[in-house]
Structure 1
Amino acid sequence: MSLDIIAPSGSVSADAARQAAKAREKPSLIGMSRQEMAAFLGEIGVPERQRRMRVSQLWRWIYTQGVRDFDAMTNISKALRRDLSEAATLERPEIVSEQISSDGTRKWLSRLAATQPGLPGPEVETVYIPDTDRATLCISSQVGCTLNCSFCHTGTQPLVRNLTPGEIVGQIMLARDRLGDWPGLDADNPTGLPEAERMISNIVLMGMGEPLYNFDNVKTAMDIANDGDGLAISKRRITLSTSGVVPMIPRTGHEMGVMLAISLHAVNDELRNELVPLNKKYPIAELLEACRNYPGLANNRRITFEYVMLKNVNDSLDEAKELVRLLAGIPAKINLIPFNPWPGAPYDCSEWDQIERFAAVIQRAGYASPVRTPRGRDIMAACGQLKSESKKVRASELRKRPTA
């Protein structure tokens, strides 16, 4: 049984609308790098000799304590707090709706800041997956996607735009807000949450979008996520999933140093061209060569290869054997993902017995081959099911709309 919690909505006064618009004109400190935050403090008159200390103070209040109001920053002078509140915000994306699955998975639809006058901001989905002693947050890097993978619901939504660093980090922030995952706070609804020191222990960039097509913003956001004085999520607990943007894979290892996951899904170019059209640009041989050379690759820092199980499409035992042959020499884990259905999907999930036989071939070759238990299917929160209703609006359409 799933539970839907919809955030209230309704008309607002003209004055409230103006105040909201004015607030949106202010930059949010969330998502700024330390250098950007120092430059911002200089713009509002903080002397250069104080900026490093002030950045450290702000950083801890924002990312360690999770405060949402400058007035709560008690070791900062009242005058500076006033200047900060007049010039900046601590806004996260706004939760529009929350769905809670029968298995405890939560999916949040959140609205981002508007970028076009007269239109609401685009919406993006974030998924929280609790387990007994840990929990994973699946975050998005784009609104929509350009890749058109045929088995993925997100791929049916054209790209609206890249997310900013603040919008990427903001998904972690809003999840911690909602779960009470800050010092001294309690969860809104603790049912099904893990008994762990920290409710969000792992981050996966496996939501909407291709993170390597938004590299710079994702890198800035992940630098904040793994900062020891901030959100403090280890790089080994952050996994970036890519469909195979080969030129960006070395940079990911050198500049982010996070764990890598590859959406493989096929063992020959002909089928992968259909399932993952990006393969026409970066075929399997090039992709696997980039994986073999991934910086930091070792037995304790393996690459995860994701393989969606599609009935009578890619699930034969011969394909399992070919998968083993292709990955020879790469420290790897192979994640078998039962296909998660969505409206109009052209595929069916492989039979469970066939998935187990496929896994057995891989395991006999010495690879870990867990079958990912579908989570959140009843609320369309499982792998490959995410999609929002946001769409890109052309300038010509905007000109036709009446002004408020």
Structure 2
Amino acid sequence: MTDRSPLPLVFDEPRGRKKPPRHLADLTPAERKERAAELGVPGFRANQLSAHYFARLVDDPEQMTDLPAGQRADLVRALLPELMTPLRTLEADKGATVKTLWKLFDGAMVESVLMRYPGRVTMCVSSQAGCGMACPFCATGQGGLQRNMSAGEIVEQVVAGARALARGDVAGGEGRVSNVVFMGMGEPLANYKAVMGAVRRLTDPTPDGLGMSARGITVSTVGLVPRINQLTEEGIPVTLALSLHAPDDELRDELVPINTRYSVHESVEAAWHYAERTKRRVSIEYAMMRDINDQAWRADLLADVLTSYGDWGWVHVNLIPLNPTPGSKWTASDPEDEREFVRRLEAKGVPTTVRDTRGQDIDGACGQLAASPDGG
């Protein structure tokens, strides 16, 4: 596969950065026991710490009474180091949407969003501090990439949400995280190893992990085709979400610069292979932008592109009313144009949903996460 353009795109974080402290959530169960042996304690101590972290959701060492009092602090410091500090929490939707700004160990900042719906709770997590994909309508993409996050830092966002729910700190009372979407800051597949490590920690049976269903996890990408192909071979049936935003290369080159390297056809074909192998329906994410990508003919073209791979229900289109970002020339589509877009897709047999926008007033909606300590 050859590049269609020499456009430089950032896939790797800047060199020379210190790595985050190694955390229990970065390690497999076997690696945790090896780490315990390095610390001079029996392997079952790692199991006990795993149970406290993933099952009991404990963050106070004093509550870990099955650990020897004289070793407790050292064990916690070694296997459960503090990875991130909450700087600010904002609420919307009567407390059902909670956005948290986190400061990482090196000063980098990221955001996560907890969204409570009837019958489920979804955590939207970040996988990178910033993003190197440079999509012009996305606040995160405009800030550039600072660094990749570790698996532990990704998992900690979910565990923090799970703790808040277990303690009844979120509107609606006690609950649990049922869904995780890798749709926060960053391009998840550009941080492939850590993201897959996090997915495994989320899905490992309790107490080795959080015991979530892979079907409740969505991994989003702007179309890193080699990584989609790699994900296809993983054998973990997460939902793949392809952020397409345009059905033609001419426009998508502008909206999603990675398209200059992997075309619409290549990205959609990789997604189709993923659906074919996993039998999991792929979500096509499409941010609706007024007079940019919301024309009726583009709806017809999008339907033709998707159905050209078969009509066996392999795909679902998720239309996203564009969320405003400061200084952006991009605006949301008119409701009438949005309805016509939906009608055109459905007329060609493509299941389509308009996403329920959550947290827009706290800059917590899709494309708005910028991790600014001064902003909303």
TM class by shorter chain equals 0.7 to 0.9
Match of 1:218 among 195, 198, 206: 195
**Residues 95-244 of structure 1 aligned to structure 2 (within 5 Å):** 95-102=86-93, 104-114=96-106, 121-177=107-163, 179-181=164-166, 186-188=167-169, 190-191=170-171, 193=172, 198-229=175-206, 230-244=209-223
Counterpart residue number, 1:341 = 324
Counterpart residue number, 1:60 = 51
Contact 1:68 1:91 in 2 (8 A): no
1:28 aligns with 2:19: no
Counterpart residue number, 1:302 = 281
Counterpart residue number, 2:6 = none
In 1, distance between residues paired with 2:59 and 2:152? 14
Match of 1:286 among 257, 266, 269: 266
- What one-letter code is carried by the residue in structure 2 that aligns with 1:228? P
Contact 2:26 2:198 in 1 (8 A): yes
What displacement does 1:90 show?
4.3
1:366-386 per-residue CA deviation (whole Å, 9 max, x = no partner) reads 222110121111111110111
In 2, distance between residues paired with 1:373 and 1:96? 27
In 2, distance between residues paired with 1:25 and 1:243? 26
- Aligned pair count reads 347
Unaligned runs of 5+ in 2: 1-18
What displacement does 1:128 show?
1.1
What displacement does 1:354 show?
1.1
Q: Which moved more, 1:73-82 or 1:245-254?
A: 73-82
Query: SS of the counterpart of 2:230?
Result: helix
In 2, distance between residues paired with 1:381 and 1:316? 27
What displacement does 1:92 show?
4.4
In 2, distance between residues paired with 1:203 and 1:172? 8
Q: Which moved more, 1:82-91 or 1:375-384?
A: 82-91
Match of 2:75 among 67, 84, 88: 84
What displacement does 1:88 show?
4.2
Q: Which moved more, 1:211-220 or 1:24-33?
A: 24-33
Counterpart residue number, 1:39 = 34
Counterpart residue number, 2:3 = none
What displacement does 1:86 show?
5.7
Structure 1 length normalisation: TM-score? Answer: 0.81
1:340-374 per-residue CA deviation (whole Å, 9 max, x = no partner) reads 01111121111011111111111222222110121
Counterpart residue number, 2:15 = none
Contact 2:323 2:367 in 1 (8 A): yes
In 2, distance between residues paired with 1:26 and 1:246? 31
Structure 2 length normalisation: TM-score? Answer: 0.86
- What one-letter code is carried by the residue in structure 1 that aligns with 2:195? V
In 1, distance between residues paired with 2:98 and 2:74? 37
- What one-letter code is carried by the residue in structure 1 that aligns with 2:263? P
Percent identity between matched residues is 37
What displacement does 1:132 show?
1.3
In 1, distance between residues paired with 2:199 and 2:158? 11
**CA-based RMSD:** 2.2
| Structure ID, larger Rg | 1
In 2, distance between residues paired with 1:83 and 1:60? 17
What displacement does 1:32 show?
2.6
Contact 1:26 1:89 in 2 (8 A): no
* C-alpha spacing 1:250/1:124, structure 2 compared with 1 (3 Å): same
1:369 aligns with 2:352: yes
**Residues 242-391 of structure 1 aligned to structure 2 (within 5 Å):** 242-255=221-234, 256-294=236-274, 297=277, 301-328=280-307, 329=310, 331-389=314-372
What displacement does 1:76 show?
3.7
Unaligned runs of 5+ in 1: 1-23, 115-120, 391-404
What displacement does 1:246 show?
0.2
Q: Which moved more, 1:289-298 or 1:122-131?
A: 289-298
Contact 1:93 1:174 in 2 (8 A): no
